[in-house]
Structure 1
Amino acid sequence: MAAVTLGVLRERHPAETRVALVPEGVRDVDGLGLSVLVEGGAGAAAGFTGAAYRAAGACLTSTAEATSADIVVAVRRPTVDALGPLRRGQILIGMLRPMHAPFVVRRWADEGATLITLDQLPATAGPPSPLDAAAGQAELAGSEAVRLAAGRLGREPAGVLVLGGGHAARRAVETARLSGANVQVHGAGEQAPAAALPSFDVVISTVDPSDSAPPLLIDDDALRRLRPGSVVVDLACGPYGHTVAGAEPGIERVLADGVTVIGAGDLATRVPAPASAAFSRAVTALLAGVVHGGRPVVDLTAPNLAPLVIAHGGTIRHAGVLHRLAETTAAAGLP
């Protein structure tokens, strides 16, 4: 019987630098009995060469071969055009953000594919689950936000305000305290404390990952209260909104009073090698629980797996996607 194949896709998003499986992960997957097919150039932006993948036991392949593998892994949800039609029983794994593309989910579910997303586990107070790839990326972003702000300041920050919650906020707090900063934390949904703002030279704003637009935590008035030369990093800034007034994805703006505002919703892409390694560990942890005897078995009763399976056997299993589809079709007057 032919080995089950795992295809590693090259990311198409212009700002994406990560890869879903690093060479070290290839060895782990090979140990499960899978044959790894890596699309040419998939790891280049993260610094992983084709030679490194070959040395780990992977085969470099074309786009068509990688996308037709039995199991396909990607960091971001691929576009329909890039991925092409999925076949019944084919498995797609990645940070799929299903609520942002409910009709794509329905299309792939109708094709009979199994969709497993690595960004839907509920937030926890403690360390994240090994399967929670989004949490691993958020932790990296939290640390990198402090380093980025220090670089813009030209020194270690003295006072850091962290707004919001989740893994990014917790890691930002840890990193800032290790650098010697005086750190103040305001929980999820709380706006910046206006009277205290002049005492901080760095503000890091984020929220728990969600499928809705983030709340505004720092408005224009709050920005004006910051001391000149301070740095604000918005870790929730992305295509669906921001938590800092005027923040734009991937843009650094210096306001008239010298305050720097950085829209950094994809901050993990600035450290692609460790971010890819963290994502790869989540992929291999998932596969270790799914692949048995070299064959994938999707057990919908497994407590760690069930919340991640958003479509299987021709059925959408994600309640939020089903609700959004129903709302949209009802609004359009469709049956």
Structure 2
Amino acid sequence: MQIGIPAETLAGETRVAATPETVKKFAALGCEVLVQAGAGLASSATDAAYEAAGAKVVATAADALANADFVLKVAAPTAEEAALMKQGATVLAAFAPHANPHFDAYAARGLTCVAMELIPRITRAQSSDILSSQANLAGYKAVLLAANEYAGLFPMMMTAAGTIKPARIVVLGVGVAGLQAIATGKRLGAVVEASDLRPAAKEQVESLGGRWLDVPMSDEEKAKALGTGGYAWQPSPEYIRDQAAVVDKAVSQANIVITTAQIPGRKAPVLVKAETVAKMKPGSVIIDMAVGSGGNVEGSAPDQTVVTENGVRIVGISNIPALVATEASALYARNLLNFLAPMHDKESGRIVLNREDDMVKPTLVVDSGTVIYKKPN
């Protein structure tokens, strides 16, 4: 069976869906792997390295896709890319199904589309979880971006001319990206504070040396939050008011703010209001990691740095993992390999998608030309 790896066409997308490492493993399973020339160059993977790993390097995307049973991509294919694919092919990518306008084109080609960002949060799916692998890198890079934008320093320094105070970082949202941002900020010597809707995140924050921004909760609210893991908890108006006050105070005193909160399929929640930004010191930096889904910060703009009247720099980068393409591609490619390899049938030498598997079923957005994805209300 044949696996096709085209070069990514989305502007700014530097990652690639298979590396020489994963190509070698697919080849060991008996798969023929076709890679479009130059597909991995931005990720430090040369055509020669792919050939050495057992791939066949071909000139165009059409050559890579025409006979591929499985197509591996980072970004969802466009309608034009779908038209190049073999009728009935299976495509693995980050499909962004809630905003994807190309489902009719996929259906017309009879494609089966596996949205890797819909991998369920179950133990055996962790090694295929592209959201976690990419968010980990993004959280790290976000702190470095902030350090580059910030005119001061992160650590405390004692010099003959006086002492430099450590920078204050506030991280809003303590998921994978937020935890990595906390750890990276601490490693660089900053004082880090963090907030999250989940009370259970307090222990994680403190284990990394961060300070938890505590919002008083009633026993009833605490029970609700703990009972749902925090994500499905609907806080009371009083809690929302109190949390806003805590965030406003912390952010207005911070040098660096990193926001990470996103809700799959929905607009990102606004965590930092314009009036809070207006209280921040000149030269402060905000990295809005959710800018691609609407933004956590009022005034942020996709792929722009907005400088406010009071001198705060609001940085919005839609695709932070693409800035660390070598490692991001390595992890993403392993995620896809880990997803497909267990479905390899030794007798036939083919990868057979098990549609009833509890790891596969939630990811299917188009199945053999039938659109089955339903947008959340």
Deviates more, 1:32-41 or 1:161-170: 161-170
Code of the aligned partner of 1:308 = T
In structure 2, the residue matched to 1:112 is: 110
1:89 partnered with 2:88: yes
Q: How does 1:203-222 map to 2 (within 5 A)?
A: 203-222=257-276
> Displacement, 1:169?
1.5
Alignment check: 8 A CA contact 1:86 1:108 kept: no
Code of the aligned partner of 2:261 = V
- Secondary structure of the 1:269 match is helix
Code of the aligned partner of 2:117 = D
1:201 partnered with 2:255: yes
> Displacement, 1:134?
2.1
Q: How does 1:1-335 map to 2 (within 5 A)?
A: 4-61=1-58, 62-68=60-66, 69-84=68-83, 86-101=85-100, 104-122=102-120, 129-153=126-150, 154-156=152-154, 158-188=167-197, 191=244, 193-238=247-292, 240-293=293-346, 294-320=349-375
> Displacement, 1:140?
0.7
| CA–CA distance in structure 2, aligned partners of residues 249 and 42 of structure 1 | 25
| CA–CA distance in structure 2, aligned partners of residues 104 and 250 of structure 1 | 24
| CA–CA distance in structure 2, aligned partners of residues 314 and 31 of structure 1 | 30
* CA displacement, residues 294-323 of structure 1 (integer Å, 9 cap, x when unaligned): 212111221222212222234333333xx7
Deviates more, 1:252-261 or 1:188-197: 188-197
- Secondary structure of the 2:117 match is coil
Alignment check: 8 A CA contact 2:262 2:269 kept: no
Identity of aligned residues (%): 31
> Displacement, 1:174?
2.1
> Displacement, 1:32?
1.7
> Displacement, 1:283?
1.1
Alignment check: 8 A CA contact 1:116 1:310 kept: yes
In structure 1, the residue matched to 2:217 is: none
Alignment check: 8 A CA contact 1:86 1:112 kept: no
- Secondary structure of the 1:285 match is helix
Code of the aligned partner of 1:203 = V
Larger radius of gyration: 2
Q: How has the CA–CA distance of structure 1 residues 128 and 216 changed in structure 2, closer, same or farther, with 3 Å as cutoff?
A: farther
Q: How has the CA–CA distance of structure 1 residues 314 and 198 changed in structure 2, closer, same or farther, with 3 Å as cutoff?
A: closer
> Displacement, 1:179?
2.6
Deviates more, 1:154-163 or 1:12-21: 154-163
Q: Pairwise CA RMSD of aligned residues? A: 2.3
In structure 2, the residue matched to 1:333 is: none
| CA–CA distance in structure 2, aligned partners of residues 160 and 278 of structure 1 | 27
- Matched positions, count: 316
| CA–CA distance in structure 1, aligned partners of residues 57 and 312 of structure 2 | 47
| CA–CA distance in structure 1, aligned partners of residues 87 and 61 of structure 2 | 19
| CA–CA distance in structure 1, aligned partners of residues 174 and 371 of structure 2 | 30
Code of the aligned partner of 1:113 = L
| CA–CA distance in structure 2, aligned partners of residues 185 and 236 of structure 1 | 16
| CA–CA distance in structure 1, aligned partners of residues 78 and 47 of structure 2 | 24
| CA–CA distance in structure 2, aligned partners of residues 196 and 170 of structure 1 | 18
In structure 2, stretches of 5+ residues that fail to align are 155-165, 198-239
* CA displacement, residues 75-96 of structure 1 (integer Å, 9 cap, x when unaligned): 0001011331544431101111
Code of the aligned partner of 1:70 = D
TM-score scaled by length of structure 1: 0.87
Deviates more, 1:181-190 or 1:242-251: 181-190
